[in-house]
Amino acid sequence: MEEILFFKEGKTDYPSFFSEDGICQWLKVIALHYRKVLGAINFIFCDDEYILSVNRQYLKHDYYTDVITFDYCNGDVLSGDVFISLDTVASNAEEYQVSYRDEFHRVVCHSVLHLIGFKDKTEEDSKEMRKNENICLELLKTL
């Protein structure tokens, strides 16, 4: 059963361009492209302090990150919890000299690609992840 939900935690607010319907439509296109089905995905947009607490509590990592994806997929059904630090998205956009909107969308599709099965721990995996992020960003332009 498809159910995409959005939440805010910490001191953050949705970006001005954010559209639940737009993200949901895009995720459907991504899932279809990879021959998957959307299940229950919770997106939790948060600040750096909140994602750091999630990282410490559940992954035993003591550092900030842009996204943490908990995979609850079953077969071809994509399900999970996705924590995205909008603070880190903003700082990464500045660091990589891209727009906040573009970096936001890259992180959203990055999380979904993890649910699909893509990894990014090795250099080779990271290249494959980046290639597929770019495919997803192109799919966004078709909406």
**CATH number of the domain at 3-141, please?**
3.40.390.30
Q: Please give the pLDDT value at position 84.
A: 98
Q: Where are the domains of the chain?
A: 3-141
Q: Please give the pLDDT value at position 1.
A: 77
Cα–Cα distance list, 59 to 18, 77, 94, 104, 125 (Å): 28, 24, 27, 23, 21
The first and second tokens of residue 28, run together, are 């459907």
pLDDT at 105 over 80: yes
Amino acid at 68: I
Mean pLDDT of 79-85: 98
The percent of residues in the chain predicted with pLDDT above 90, rounded, is 98
Closest to 93 measured CA to CA, from 7, 8, 15, 13: 15
